[in-house]
Amino acid sequence: MTDAAAEIDTVATEPALILRIRGRLTLAEMAGAGARLRAVAADRPVTLDLSRLLRLDTAGAWAIVTLRARLAAEGHALRIEHAAPEVESLLVAVEAALPRAESEPRPRRSLPDRLDALGRRVAGAGHTGAEMLGIFGLFLARLGRSLVHPREFRLTALVHHCEEVGFRAVPIVALMAFLIGVVLAFQGAVQLRQFGAEVFVVDLIAISILRELGILLTSIIVAGRTASAFTAAIGSMKMREEIDAMRTLGLDPAAMLFVPRILALLLMLPILGLIANVAGLFGGGLMAWLTLDISPGMFLTRLVDGTDVENVMVGLVKAPAFAVIIGVVGCHAGMKVGSNAESLGRQTSSAVVAAIFAVIVADAVFSVFFAQVGI
């Protein structure tokens, strides 16, 4: 027995066109013999001789059955001869299962449809904002409740999340702030040297890190680390119906999941911001010493004299707001996860993007506010 590709012999006799299939008519033959078979043009009844057929699978049977259907539509009969019993039964099974094309063509999207979709997205964005506000409200309500009933408060979970969110983020945050300080000192030195005003590099570093960069970059890193972790953790619980199980057991998901997470962020982000400030100043001071010969003592004097402590306050006062934004976005995205893994991935990445975006927008709002009140 050989793996012969199927061949179709065509014999035109008077009453009927005889097609004889030799070899195996299988899925692998669909590009060749199968396509030729389905494309047979007939002007008279057709007889299909299967006496030399070696093997037929559902793809081959489909080719025969669709040929028969097409010929019938053109008004010619197809007769099958010398089919083995199993071939016969396969043809019957395939014919019975042949899907009827009942699908209507996809409707084209018109301009009103597009406008409608746009409107829905805008309304959806408003709705999402309202939902996030709802989660924030729920967080405050449950937090207030646990003040009244301290026994319901989940201290262990809070400590665990503080470790995850805060302690474990210290190395990356400190390293990032250190490098930013180094870069600022270096770039500032290059520019300020032109005016002989090298010593002002201390003010440059201090004000930019303490007011803006320290807390903003820390929040962006935490948004990337923690918002995604919140979404993944809550989302996978949602996916496996654990959150529904909590509800039926009388446990409140908001109190169990949102409060410890958002509260941990609220406690940890100012601390991380402070660490970032210190690391940034250290990096800047080191670079100033190495490239500008500003000794650490001089740096410190200049820092204390020239920079108001107000700058630190202006920076760190933003931390709680950023913490709430990151926590709420992460928890909200987690609750939006559906029943499949794909939506978990989509929500996780969108949580990171939304959290970073919201943090930057909030930072801009703070800047405008501080400028207006003159701090």
Partner 1 sequence: MRNADAEIVIRVRGLVTRFGPQVVHDGLDLDVRRGEILGIVGGSGTGKSVLLREIVGLMRPAAGQIEMLGTDVQQATEAERAMLESRIGVMFQDGALFSSLTVRENVEVPMRAVPGLDPATRAALADLKISLAGLPYLAGDKYPSELSGGMRKRAGLARALARDPEIVFLDEPTAGLDPIGASAFDRLIHRLSRAMGLTVFLVTHDLDTLHAVCDRVAVLAERRVLVTGTMQEMLDVDHPWVHDYFHGPRARAALATAGKE
* Token pair belonging to 61: 């049977």
Query: What SS3 state is found at 48?
Result: strand
By CB under 8 A, tell whether 365 contacts partner 1: no
Residue 264 CA, distance from chain mean position? 24
Site for partner 1 (CB under 8 A): which residue of 62, 178, 258, 322?
Answer: 62
Residue pair 305/246 in contact by the 8 Å Cβ criterion: no
295 DSSP assignment: -
Integer Cα distance of 68 and 92 in angstroms: 12
By CB under 8 A, tell whether 230 contacts partner 1: no
By CB under 8 A, tell whether 306 contacts partner 1: no
Integer Cα distance of 210 and 273 in angstroms: 9
Residue pair 67/38 in contact by the 8 Å Cβ criterion: yes
Site for partner 1 (CB under 8 A): which residue of 23, 34, 181, 253?
Answer: 34
Q: Which stretch binds partner 1 (CB under 8 A): 142-150, 244-252, 261-269, 334-342?
A: 334-342
Of 136-195, binders to partner 1 (CB under 8 A) are: none
Site for partner 1 (CB under 8 A): which residue of 117, 290, 341, 361?
Answer: 341
By CB under 8 A, tell whether 14 contacts partner 1: no
Integer Cα distance of 202 and 217 in angstroms: 20
Give min distance, CB of 75 to partner 1, in A. 23
Indicate the residue among 65 and 213 with the shorter CB distance to partner 1: 65
Site for partner 1 (CB under 8 A): which residue of 14, 102, 293, 305?
Answer: 102
* Token pair belonging to 180: 């930013």
Query: What SS3 state is found at 228?
Result: helix
Residue pair 326/258 in contact by the 8 Å Cβ criterion: no
Integer Cα distance of 79 and 88 in angstroms: 12
Indicate the residue among 32 and 134 with the shorter CB distance to partner 1: 32
Give min distance, CB of 65 to partner 1, in A. 9
Indicate the residue among 275 and 337 with the shorter CB distance to partner 1: 337
Site for partner 1 (CB under 8 A): which residue of 4, 10, 11, 32?
Answer: 32
List phi, psi (to 5°) of 353.
-60, -45
By CB under 8 A, tell whether 89 contacts partner 1: yes
201 DSSP assignment: H
Give min distance, CB of 35 to partner 1, in A. 7
Give min distance, CB of 337 to partner 1, in A. 12
Residue pair 154/259 in contact by the 8 Å Cβ criterion: yes
Give min distance, CB of 81 to partner 1, in A. 21
Query: What SS3 state is found at 100?
Result: coil
Indicate the residue among 26 and 47 with the shorter CB distance to partner 1: 26
Closest by Cα among 319, 328, 320 to 258? 328
Question: Mask of contacts with partner 1, 39-58, x by CB under 8 A?
Answer: ------------------xx
List residues binding partner 1 (CB under 8 A): 1, 26-28, 30-32, 34-35, 57-59, 62, 66, 86, 89-90, 92-94, 97-103, 338-343
